[in-house]
Structure formats: structure tokens, C-alpha cells
Structure 1
């Protein structure tokens, strides 16, 4: 398979009273520590919310149909949003001064900022999100099988290997390779994706590759199936799955309440966040 470069008792009867007092004190101390921890956690969550950058009055670029599109539109209204079929098109519009910011997933954002001068990612994340694989609502049998494969791949460390080969200091090393003795007599699994989302899925030398593609391949290896990858617009993935054109959608897709009304999601396989790309001279 072609490869590429491209985140924790006391005893004695005479001590009954002291013990009761000590236990009471210990319980009080524990309760105090627990309350303090809860308060601290709440404060941190509130702090993250408070630190969120206010984009009111700005024109915000998003990729059509993504979580960024849905979230930004919900918060700032349709008039504040400019939609693009590809994430990189939104980044180009930012460079050209047509928009003021881009809201997109963290890892693609990092790739874009590396390749385009004069841009930065704001420290405050826009939102947190979990990625999962989507299926048609009635396709529970396949979803159960894929969930079983996901569980195995995580437990044996294969998913971490795949993720680490695309993310962080070990990116570009130790890519996933299918076992040579896989029996693929169980048919073909068609994966719908949008190959404009590095490092999850992207083109290299006319081949679709990336973290999601390798993960889907590993799932197919577990299920004894061939993998076929179909590239399409992001907002076409759910319709493709529901129409039977594809068996599953794997595209760095965030689980949201609205999407859960349309499709069945697998267990989450990765957590990420939406971030904000701006020009270097942007002041918060």
C-alpha cells in the first residue's frame, strides 16, 4: 500500500469515638476536595468558554456541510458565513481578503497554516467534537461489525499506530500495512469520503490516502472485506450512505444531534476540535 507524509483504619474499642471523629473529618476533607475538584473543573470549562473568541461582525469561511458550517451559522447567522466546497478554498479566500476567518477542524487547519504563509491558528478552540463512522439507519448489522473491529483495533494499539503515523512527531513513520494472509471473501465495503481533509483523507499521486483511509482498511482487514473508496463533496456523503451508493461514510465526520436524526453512527474513534484560522496580524 502506497504511503506518504503528509495529544491521568484504625482498630481498638477505646478508639471508637476518635475514629468516628477522624472518619468524619476524613469524610469532610474528602467532600471538600471533591467539591474543590468539581469547582475547579467547572471553572476550567467556564474559562474555556470565556476565552472563546467573539467573531461577531466578521465574515467567516467554512466548508459546506461541515460541523464548522453548522456551528458558525447557528451562532452568527447565515449572513456571516461564506461557504466553500473545499477547506482550502476558504483558506485562499482568507489570504485574498475576501473573508476574515476560517473555522475548520484542527488537523487540516494545521496543514493549511504550514503550507500558506501569513496565517495562524488562534489559541482558543471554537468547539470540541468527536469523530465517528456513519451508516444508514437500517444498517445495524454492519454498524455492529464495524464497532467490533474498532474495539479490537483500539485495544491492540493498531489505531494508535495509524494515528501516530499521520499526527505529531512520528508523522510519516510506521504506516499501517495490511496482513498478507487476510481472507477477503466477505465482499467489498464502500467508503464515502471527501478527500480534501488532510491528514484524514487527501490525494497523493492520484491516490486517496490518509488516517481515515488506513483506519477503514484496517477495519476491512478485520472483517475480511475489500475496501473501495469513493470521493465526493462532503455534504453528499450522508445521502450516498442513505441511498446505498456507499456502505459507510468516513470523513472526519463529527457526531451531532442533527446528523444522528439522519444516520447511525459508530462508536467514536477520535476526538478533535474546531479552530479558527486568521491572518497573522489579527488581534483578538
Structure 2
């Protein structure tokens, strides 16, 4: 009798386990290299380059779970709901530092360049931004801004400061961003800070505009710029052929690497 009960109980446990897996429960696939992504559950931030690249693996049997915030994808990884997260290397470092038991694979997933998106019919603003970027690169401002947020030896030591006497006779420029992508944009109290926020401030100082930062979901940024609700978008955004169909991009202001976060 005990054996019959045990077998019945085992069957119930087995059925429950299968149901949990089918409903998105814990997963066990080990990701050690890029080649292991086939058939895996991959977490990405909706609309990002990681999302675009990961989509290619859906044809290879992978499941791509899309989240509004990178932090939500990382949380799902810590809970065992997905096998890995594909995201930019700098935010990845911050997430791994804040969550025990996670690591970044040594093998990079993809390399990319970040740029500022502007509406296709706003060629005048695009030209001004490119001119300002060239000047900021030439005088070392862009490098100084990056060093302020990246690197243990320099982080926090070279903050961008608006030059004395700067005024804004040309009105406002609204920047669309998603402020949950440290160190490019994130909140310090109620203020959005980071590499992109500082770069945008430096550009606006050059052009004589007051910077206004509008925080929104990442996948809303291009639409916001297209419709004129924002003047430009800056959010660790990579230039891709798909995005170029609906938006223009400035010259690149930094290079980045997409990496894979997994459990240790």
C-alpha cells in the first residue's frame, strides 16, 4: 500500500514539475559560450540591441523573454526563470556587482557604436549635434565624461561642469531616454545622471539650449522623436539598419560591447 501511495505521490510531483516548467518556472540550461544560446531562455530589455540580436536565436529554438527594464531581466535570471541576459557591458557590470551569484561570460556577444537619434526631417538639428560632438571630442570632453563613470581609477573624478557664463538663448531641447541603464543614464535621487546625460548637457551648452530629460520606456524613444514629442533620443542606442529606416543618427560618441550575464 505504501508503495502504491509513493508512486502516486511521485506522479503528482512529476506532473507539477512539468507544469511549472511549462509556465515559465525554473530552468536549468547552462550557458558557457555564445554557442549555448541555441535553445536557451534569453532575457533582454525590450527594443534594445540585445533584443534585436537575440531575436535571431528564436529561429534556433530559443525563447526570448522581453522586459521593460534591464533590472527586471536580471531579477528573472536570479529567480531561475531564464538562462541568461544579453545587455551592454557597463550596465552588466553594475548588475553583477549588485547581485551575488551572477557573472559575465568572458566571450563578448557583439560590439556596437552608440549614437544620438534625431527625426529624419530634422537635418538642421542633426548637423548642429554632429558639429558639437566633433568639438567635444577634439577638446577631450567626451573622453573625460566617460572616465567619470567608467573605470575604478577615474570614476567620479572628472564630472562635466557647464562653463561659467553659459546661457540658453535658443530655448529647450528635450532628450528622450530610459533612465535605468547605468552608467549611461540612471537616477541619482530625482536627477537623471550618467554618460549620456552629461554628453547631452555638454552638447546643449555648446548649442545654447536648455536640456530637458524625458524618461520613458526604451521602446518609446524612437516614436517620441519621430512625432516631435522629444527633439532627440539618447539611451545607449546602437545604430542599426532597422532603426535607420525610421530615424537618423548622429556620429558615434562611444563604442560598447554586448555581453551575456549568467549564474555562477
Instruction: Pick the TM interval, shorter chain.
Output: 0.7 to 0.9
Bigger shift: 180-189 or 108-117?
180-189
Q: Report Cα offsets for 1:178-222 as digits up to 9, x if no partner.
A: 012112101111000000100000011111111100000000010
Provide the rounded CA distance (Å) in 2 between the counterparts of 1:132 and 1:53.
29
Partner of 2:41: 59
Q: Report Cα offsets for 1:124-157 as digits up to 9, x if no partner.
A: 1111111000000000000000000000000000
Give 1:1-284 correspondences, 5 Å limit: 52-77=34-59, 80-168=63-151, 169-280=153-264
Provide the rounded CA distance (Å) in 1 between the counterparts of 2:146 and 2:258.
18
Cα root mean square deviation, aligned: 1.1
TM-score where L is the length of structure 1? 0.79
Provide the rounded CA distance (Å) in 1 between the counterparts of 2:62 and 2:220.
23
- The answer on whether the counterparts of 2:119 and 2:225 sit within 8 Å (CA) in structure 1 is yes
- The answer on whether the counterparts of 2:42 and 2:62 sit within 8 Å (CA) in structure 1 is no
TM-score where L is the length of structure 2? 0.85
Provide the rounded CA distance (Å) in 2 between the counterparts of 1:53 and 1:269.
31
Aligned length: 230
- The answer on whether the counterparts of 1:53 and 1:126 sit within 8 Å (CA) in structure 2 is no
